[in-house]
Structure 1
């Protein structure tokens, strides 16, 4: 056979693989509003940067007539490319080929890419669109999942791992995304669940659709499994690119610095107007964030879940920071079980990948109630204490209004390792709010007064003036400075610039016992 013949044979083999499950199945994929695996990779990566690996891999199953089955690329496309010129590794399950089902060599293709990503210190992106385990391959398929889970765990905190759910993900398939750092979902076309609607109907009698059970809205608002939600495949892949622009390639690097047009010394009079004079009135914390960060731009994670706390990536002076901020317009900004979990995981991710933390505090306490206590608010709240205490990245805390009790500590107080604590003149730092404190501290005086209502109001005022302000805490060194709201941006930039060379060691240990 001549060279020309061999080249022609190679091109035919490639073409056969690139066709996936064939024109009919590709058309069905498009009719569902979904891109194919190769189209998704093309949209995700820089133009012409994708290099495929293991295109010719084939399964070795001979049971149930599988020896006669042709499975192009084993139902998954794997390789590497660039996003904004930076190396990334990617795998994309091909639903047009046996429903993207995972068999032994499908998994081997994925684990090879995972190993390469860790060795080269580059992010791993999984585009998931699979019907689950390939039943014909039995325990070999289950072994494949186990190998993926194991590598997800080893890579955690070493490289950013991003899962993009772009179709079904059921049973064991959902655990790999759950072990990664961020999960993206697409409206109406992606679902995640351990047991599907039919099994639930058979076992419990409940009637639920796949979308209600595990769609993007469910996991973005109720379970907190999904971090980002997109309207379609194209928007989702663009969101992945945006997220990566904030992240380093691995745990040994700092996040990339970006050029920005925002003046580092910019003052903001708008910050003087956002917080109401009445300390019990709500406001939108996102207005404060927008006024502080570069160009008013930030990327919020889990924006529809546990909305009483905000977790977001932003930039100050072109450098990535992670923001954890109470949201007074939702549950008055109280910390609850879900907010504690959301914040703790975000804090630990930022610490693992050298992303400084900005904590903006307006918290009246932990949410009271039997549901919270029975649900384990003690254990969940402890996660925040642990995460902040464990973090060694630069930590700057800004107290803008309420900072009461244990919740004040949980939002990265000086005692939990904050490097710099700044406060606005509106800050109220105390064991509890003036109303509750007056009832306890001045109980007898109020009770014996001729006018208990007037006496109580007077004592509330006295407590607020003497204790519920930033100056008592500043006099003890718990607050480093009380600043004008308008000068917040330059003061924060100065603090983070000063902390760039921070080095902090911890006692040697295998690992701590995080209160999961």
Structure 2
């Protein structure tokens, strides 16, 4: 007696899982510019490291004697693998099998993937391509009943967001729960033209009289500008590279500290150009990204959310090998003034930093919240107050460089009130309740109007006020701790990360109410 028959069947079943949706559907998938799911996994993880869990889940077809004659594999794959030699959990849809609908124990396997990440304290990477397990109308006839919508996976998904890095890629047309899974991540990516996200897709939306193509309704050009998704890429391979890079900055879970990489010096040791990086004219713009890239470890700046909340630049970088969270103003967009989106982006990125103990470096040029009717209608103040509350609640260590403007309530976000801050001003820094050029029109209105030459009087007042608003004057009374030569910025960043490195702690973070 032997188990040869059973072992042969086991080998057959494992072989059948590799066929996915069959040659015709796989070819159609490729023709749409999309990789089959197993090739996606191979392209993402370290070679040969994927250990599948639940490989045999699917739907078997049997003859009258109960012998297996065909097999439709599950359209949801999960398991453990390694990315950059570090363990992760993979959760991947196979659109070639019934378009990603919830066949083959998808619901249970999806739960298992979330549970695996949470219990093993491993980063979770979702490759979403389809409904994500939410089911289809066809299930009504298949099961002979309808299901009451439940968020069975949501408690675990929420726990994971507080515990382990969660990254999602939308790699096809993703609707309903699948779209929600992409958005419920610390970092999310779409592939331009080949992926879309919807609450409901074009066929459903047509019933309310709106007729759109997929990209018109939910393409990456929409969702990377509204903040639903962080970034877009041109190819799936590029998405895999971004995921690998993003995870390299983060710990395995909140119970570990972010991993220090081999220290890499900046691209250049000559920082003298920073002394003239900011124009003398306060209304002139300049490029902030080259400043950031010059003071962090070479090629370490990974920008996130570039397409939305554009007055604020966010991303990850390294200083002396230590991962840090980067915030910086972008004067090319509304002069760096915060709108609703910029405030939301600030909170989202600060939450990521807070959860995974990433020290903050902050380059400030904020003239205030955006003003005018549009800003009032979108509720800029409400979202701004949430951002300020998040800053006050932060338990991280911050290193702030006031590069130019710091005006109004919005500029109060530049540091953590009530705790020690590493804070430096460049000589180009200006601050106050209002920018001089706008405030003097109100404060000196009668004087200017009464002058023989109002323009000359306005210019004279502005010159007088600017002399008094020098950061050197503020430093005299310790309003700012130090005014520095901009060429020292890298040196001071190195001192910051080395000083606070022993003070970082692990564990789950808690936030109180944010208005």
Does the 8 Å contact 1:71/1:98 carry over to 2? Answer: no
2:484 equivalent in structure 1:
483
In 2: Cα distance, 1:292 partner to 1:142 partner: 55
SS in 2 for 1:114: helix
Residue 207 of structure 1 is aligned with which of 211, 220, 225?
211
SS in 1 for 2:281: coil
Residue 342 of structure 1 is aligned with which of 342, 345, 355?
345
Change (3 A) 1:141 1:244: farther
In 2: Cα distance, 1:41 partner to 1:255 partner: 25
In 1: Cα distance, 2:148 partner to 2:80 partner: 25
Query: How far is the alpha carbon of 1:476 from its aligned partner?
Result: 4.1
Change (3 A) 1:338 1:416: farther
In 2: Cα distance, 1:90 partner to 1:211 partner: 27
Superposed counterparts of 1:270-289, under 5 Å: 270-289=273-292
2:354 equivalent in structure 1:
351
Give the alignment's TM-score, normalised by structure 2: 0.91
Q: Which runs of 5+ in 1 are unaligned?
A: 61-67
In 1: Cα distance, 2:47 partner to 2:146 partner: 34
2:24 equivalent in structure 1:
24
1:106 equivalent in structure 2:
106
Moved more, 150-159 or 435-444: 435-444
2:157 equivalent in structure 1:
152
2:424 equivalent in structure 1:
422
SS in 2 for 1:192: strand
Query: How far is the alpha carbon of 1:456 from its aligned partner?
Result: 1.5
Alignment of 1:409 with 2:412, yes or no, is yes
Indicate the structure with greater helix content.
1
Does the 8 Å contact 2:16/2:73 carry over to 1? Answer: no
2:239 equivalent in structure 1:
236
2:494 equivalent in structure 1:
493
Residue 217 of structure 1 is aligned with which of 217, 221, 233?
221
2:128 equivalent in structure 1:
128
In 1: Cα distance, 2:194 partner to 2:6 partner: 41
Moved more, 86-95 or 388-397: 388-397
In 2: Cα distance, 1:266 partner to 1:235 partner: 31
1:178 equivalent in structure 2:
183
Q: Which runs of 5+ in 2 are unaligned?
A: 61-67
Alignment of 1:94 with 2:97, yes or no, is no
Superposed counterparts of 1:65-464, under 5 Å: 72-103=72-103, 105-131=105-131, 133-137=135-139, 146-203=151-208, 205-221=209-225, 223-262=226-265, 266-410=269-413, 412-413=414-415, 415=417, 417=419, 419-464=421-466
In 2: Cα distance, 1:141 partner to 1:331 partner: 50
2:65 equivalent in structure 1:
none
Query: Residues 197-240 of structure 1: CA distance to partner in whole angstroms, max 9, x if unpaired?
Result: 2333321x33321111111121112x221112111111111211
Change (3 A) 1:142 1:128: farther
Change (3 A) 1:73 1:163: same
Change (3 A) 1:181 1:261: closer
Moved more, 128-137 or 386-395: 128-137
SS in 1 for 2:111: helix
